[in-house]
Amino acid sequence: MSEADDIAALRSEILTRFHTVHQFCRAVRQRINRSTVYMVLSGRYGGNVPRQVARIREVLAGGGQEQRMFEAIKRVACGRCRVHGACSRCDDLFRAQATAAKQSIE
């Protein structure tokens, strides 16, 4: 499969699940940069396209390792917090910590 075919298949998968690229970007805004998604899908990304396609696919699949790290950090931190019930107050911090942890082991 060529790179262009792979990008077309990725766009099709995004549109099937989210109806628009914009809705996909809004749904995953904490995990992948909107401009990166648009540049990869338009064929104008100047960096490592296969790596970015893999990252987008990982986000589509549920986040992979970074998502699991986020969930583990949140589970432990929220277990010690005085706020009970559903809360997303610290999610930005937890995502940043998961990203930093993933980058440190790569």
Listed by start position, the domains of the chain span: 3-61, 64-105
Contact 52, 3 (CB under 8 A): no
- Greater confidence (73 vs 26) lies with 73
Average pLDDT in the 77-90 region? 87
pLDDT at 11: 94
Termini Cα distance of the chain: 27
- Tens digits of residue pLDDT in 1-43: 688 888 999 999 999 988 999 988 887 877 789 999 999 999 9
What's the pTM value of the predicted model, to 2 decimals? 0.60
As given in the structure block, the two tokens for residue 18 are 């989210």
| Chain mean position to CA 72 | 16
Tell me, what's the pLDDT at 49?
92
Q: What is the pLDDT of residue 10?
A: 93
